[in-house]
Structure 1
Amino acid sequence: MPFVEAFRQFQFKAKRENFCTVHVSLVPQPSTTGEQKTKPTQISVRALRGLGLSPDLIICRSSMPIEMPVKEKISMFCHVKPEQVICIHDVSSTYRVPMLLEGQGVVKYFKERLSLPIGDSETHLLFKWRNMADRYDKLQKACTIALVGKYTKLRDCYSSVFKALEHSALAINHKLNLMYIDSLDLEQITKAEDPVKFHEAWQKLCKADGILVPGGFGTRGTLGKLQAISLARAKKIPFLGICLGMQLAVIEFARNCLNLKDADSTEFEPNASIPLVIDMPEHNPGELEGTMRLGSRRTVFRTEDSILRKLYGDVPFIEERHRHRYEVNPKMISQFEQKGLNFVGQDVDGKRMEIIELANHPYFVGVQFHPEFSSRPLKPSPPYLGLLLAATGNLNAYMQQGCQLASSLWSN
């Protein structure tokens, strides 16, 4: 395994005081005997040592708490101290795991082993984390969000989106009920081939408190996404479009509100008569390698009258991560703003459209960037937080309180 060899070599370059090896191993407990088995851990540690790495900590995963004799056995046969054997059993949520680690001295171990400057601020952070985990276990209310995408059969594709939604739901004391809807199931082709699947998809979409269309590539499923966006706009269902989701929201508005029926993206139709979403100037059509606009980029708010600006803390600009190679055609912006679709955020040069907001709508927002990448459990992403607040009917009250993302949320 190349990465193991890379770690083996790296430990000498980094030196022991800067390098720590943590080995994670399963401790199975067969239902036939109920005995926790240490042999898999012994064998895996022996194999790791044979590859030139010695574990500083052994993390033992199990369904039930590991008994002390089992822990001592692992310590003896794996040549580590008992306090270096950390036991992580199944808990009510992953948010409980850091507390299990801290309770077994992992923080103290790393502080001493790596000479880390851990002080009172980290202790306070752990206190806030514990309160958050307690609240997660006591949630009663639920909020249903429909994620309309094309990769729903591989849900790991949307793991960062799911976590950003979960962070925001937890911040407002709600459980997240996320419904994955394959956008292809919303299209007429599915209605003809499988009417039951078609109607089930639309029933799920209509029951949602909010609709989210994430990023993606290619033409498959785009008609279904456009129909979901149209429903959100017309029925005033809270909506968030990410990357391609924002581009499709602009296309949907052009076709149905500006009567530009031929408006399209050059990604889908290279010779579109109304190229509303276009290749970026630095993108060479037909050459996909190395042509994406990537990394953290600054977005400047054009106006103070913006929902997202207030959710971000009323700042003049933000920095979020990008991953796209198409953008909204800046030559057509004025037509949209006359009809209420406002481009409230642009890049530093004022040429690239980064944020859209629809007037007279509870929450209809699109962003060209990917805010889910910077979402954290104790600091949810503002666009996602806005979606959850609107979906639960709390956005206006929250805006009136100043949109502060600090203590008022975590104290509930």
Structure 2
Amino acid sequence: MVTGGVVSSIGKGITAASIGRILRSYGVDVTAIKIDPYLNWDSGTLNPYQHGEVFVTEDGMETDLDLGHYERFLDVNLSGKSNITTGKVYSSVIDHERKGDYLGSCVQIIPHITNKIKDMVRKIARESQAEVVLVEVGGTVGDIESQPFLEALRQLRNEEGHDNVMFVHVTYVPYLKAAGEFKTKPTQHSTKELRSTGIIPDMIICRSELPIDQALKNKIAHFCDVEPKAVISTPDVESIYEVPLIINQEKVGEYILNRIKIDACDQDLNEWEHVVESLKQDSYQVSIGIIGKYVELEDAYMSIRESLKHAAAHLGIKVNIEWIQAEDTIDEEKISHLDSLLIPGGFGERGISGKLDAVQYSLQNKVPLFGICLGMQCMVIEFARQKGFEGAHSTEFNKETSYPVIDLMEEQKKIKNMGGTMRLGSYPCKVKEGTMAHEAYGQDEVSERHRHRFELNNDYRDVLKEKGLIISGTSPDDFLVEMIELKDHPWFLGCQFHPEFKSRPNKAHPIFVSFLRATLENHKQKSGK
């Protein structure tokens, strides 16, 4: 169980994922759960500015972005059940109450809500058959909304036994430059708050700008009642993928395995060490412009950013990402220095004009362009306009357009609710031979994750193909367009799905690798190297 104190966004998700990576290096089978105390049923309707990106699982659940960290660090596909929210818990309890399952009892936080939380955690443990289940509690200890979850986990420790449940508390140790010293008081108060819930931490992971020394660890151990060797220093690092290596130096894995009494194989972190070293290679540095409307918060495009890093490491280059606000005018002066462009997914009309400007620039200047979901739709819209369909658009933004090249799927037109009404999760895609997509994948059929409502309108499919648009990927029945590209362009590819959700640091996604290769080639041509 991983809890957090002092401040939010302290890095509980990265910490939990790093612990999981270390346990995996001992041959231990690990799965993960993220508890989000908000009342939303899932993350699907949350504002990216407040909550970062929405991560989509194989089974089509819109979840917290920390599940993306877990999948990337653990190299596993998690179920949507691995994201437990207050909304899911209360919805399930109320549903049982309406069915009369509680036999007239007064339904209360304890035991009904806490029992449901424990049931959800145990169900994931049972279905995954994992040896270790990581449970991260979102928010900060002391938050009102997290209290039922902490109480449930406290009960779980008693029911499952001391040797089967371990608590790790992540805190922040600030460094006061004026005083020239670290301050442990926030960690002491945070631990005291956690202990007031009945939970005694077994390990304290101290986040800080700089490493903390043994004397400071001893002080924290003394005041917080943990062993000195269970106080772990986790200073800021250049890459999140370094965190497992940093905390592994402090023998975190050994301590946890001894604490929960698991016999494991000898540790092998060689692959992860290679990943970290690969991320540091920079024989070439290429610049990619990401044109989006949430660029002020990079976490809104977390998986895309990480996928580009994975592909760059695979090729032995370094990627410099420039975040470009799609609401602004996108002109040549702003993007001509870039080696390639990427348009991510999104919803709503805001920023569409800037994204279409970027497509137009790519078409006119033969600059590599990668469009994902809405990005692909913008590529289709601008291509159609360039080929004589003046005013072509998506009915998402202009219901009266003369050329609705992007339109709703028929089954979507009947749905009025916002949450969970899209094409979500993993679907197969048939890849056409002789295309860039097929060259990248090296396969005739792949499986990718989706999150969208609108599709390329089949009424315009043939005429757009006649104008030069290549449909390189479709659903197996050939009904839905999954990928488009152009022949007379160095790299112009759009996909309706989200390949970023399946990229791993040790397994870069082939489409991102192909895009980075084209980016590097364009960089060499521009620089004359």
Task: Return the TM-score normalized by structure 2.
Answer: 0.67
Equivalence for 2:116: none
Q: Report the CA distance shift for 1:284/1:138 in structure 2 as closer, same or farther (over 3 A).
A: closer
Equivalence for 2:373: 243
Equivalence for 2:311: 168
On the 8 A contact 1:357/1:365 being kept in 2, the answer is yes
Is 1:95 equivalent to 2:241 in the alignment? Answer: yes
Equivalence for 1:159: 302
Large movers: runs of 4+ above 6 Å = none
Q: Distance in 2 between matches of 1:29 and 1:324?
A: 45
Q: Distance in 2 between matches of 1:285 and 1:115?
A: 54
Equivalence for 1:347: 475
Aligned with residue 294 of structure 1, among 424, 433, 450 = 424
Q: Distance in 2 between matches of 1:117 and 1:325?
A: 48
On the 8 A contact 1:179/1:204 being kept in 2, the answer is no
Q: Distance in 2 between matches of 1:334 and 1:287?
A: 31
Q: Distance in 2 between matches of 1:311 and 1:394?
A: 18
Letter matched to residue 53 of structure 1: I
Deviation string, structure 1 residues 165-185 (Cα, Å, up to 9, x no partner): 122222222222111112232
On the 8 A contact 1:25/1:58 being kept in 2, the answer is yes
Letter matched to residue 236 of structure 1: K
Aligned with residue 223 of structure 1, among 339, 353, 376 = 353
Q: Distance in 2 between matches of 1:165 and 1:2?
A: 36
Equivalence for 2:179: 33
Equivalence for 2:383: 253
Equivalence for 1:310: 439
1:137, CA displacement in angstroms?
A: 3.6
Q: Report the CA distance shift for 1:311/1:20 in structure 2 as closer, same or farther (over 3 A).
A: farther
Question: Which deviates the most, 45-54 or 156-165?
Answer: 156-165
Equivalence for 1:232: 362
Tell me, which stretches of 5 or more residues in structure 2 are unaligned? 1-143, 524-529
Equivalence for 2:520: 392
Letter matched to residue 8 of structure 1: E
Equivalence for 1:179: 322
Q: Distance in 2 between matches of 1:308 and 1:118?
A: 41
**Secondary structure of the equivalent of 1:207?**
coil
On the 8 A contact 2:415/2:421 being kept in 1, the answer is no
On the 8 A contact 1:279/1:285 being kept in 2, the answer is no
Aligned with residue 203 of structure 1, among 333, 352, 366 = 333
Q: Distance in 2 between matches of 1:291 and 1:274?
A: 25
**Secondary structure of the equivalent of 1:378?**
coil
Equivalence for 1:268: 397
Q: Report the CA distance shift for 1:57/1:244 in structure 2 as closer, same or farther (over 3 A).
A: same
Q: Report the CA distance shift for 1:317/1:118 in structure 2 as closer, same or farther (over 3 A).
A: farther
Task: Return the TM-score normalized by structure 1.
Answer: 0.85
Equivalence for 2:166: 20
Deviation string, structure 1 residues 176-226 (Cα, Å, up to 9, x no partner): 211111223226xxxxxxxxxxxxx53231111001011112222212211
Letter matched to residue 51 of structure 1: T
Q: Distance in 2 between matches of 1:210 and 1:57?
A: 45
Q: Which has the higher contact order (CA 8 A, sep 6+)?
A: 2
Q: Report the CA distance shift for 1:250/1:115 in structure 2 as closer, same or farther (over 3 A).
A: farther
- Following superposition of structure 1 onto structure 2, how do residues 296-375 of structure 1 map, counting pairs within 5 Å? 296-301=426-431, 303-312=432-441, 314-375=442-503
On the 8 A contact 2:356/2:382 being kept in 1, the answer is yes
RMSD (CA atoms): 2.3
Q: Report the CA distance shift for 1:319/1:91 in structure 2 as closer, same or farther (over 3 A).
A: same
Equivalence for 1:83: 229
Q: Distance in 1 between matches of 2:501 and 2:522?
A: 24
1:117, CA displacement in angstroms?
A: 7.1
On the 8 A contact 1:297/1:321 being kept in 2, the answer is yes
1:329, CA displacement in angstroms?
A: 0.9
Is 1:281 equivalent to 2:410 in the alignment? Answer: yes
Q: Distance in 2 between matches of 1:149 and 1:118?
A: 45
Letter matched to residue 503 of structure 2: S
On the 8 A contact 2:281/2:317 being kept in 1, the answer is no
Deviation string, structure 1 residues 244-289 (Cα, Å, up to 9, x no partner): 11011111111112x1113221101113222211111121368242
Q: Distance in 2 between matches of 1:135 and 1:298?
A: 31
On the 8 A contact 1:144/1:177 being kept in 2, the answer is yes
Aligned residues between the structures: 376
Q: Distance in 2 between matches of 1:340 and 1:238?
A: 17
Q: Report the CA distance shift for 1:288/1:246 in structure 2 as closer, same or farther (over 3 A).
A: farther
Question: Which deviates the most, 318-327 or 291-300?
Answer: 291-300
Aligned with residue 131 of structure 1, among 274, 291, 295 = 274
Letter matched to residue 297 of structure 1: Y
Is 1:6 equivalent to 2:149 in the alignment? Answer: yes
Tell me, which stretches of 5 or more residues in structure 1 are unaligned? 188-200, 396-412
Equivalence for 2:213: 67
Equivalence for 1:401: none
Q: Report the CA distance shift for 1:183/1:37 in structure 2 as closer, same or farther (over 3 A).
A: closer
**Secondary structure of the equivalent of 1:392?**
helix
Is 1:142 equivalent to 2:285 in the alignment? Answer: yes
On the 8 A contact 1:145/1:178 being kept in 2, the answer is yes
Letter matched to residue 262 of structure 1: G
On the 8 A contact 1:86/1:101 being kept in 2, the answer is yes
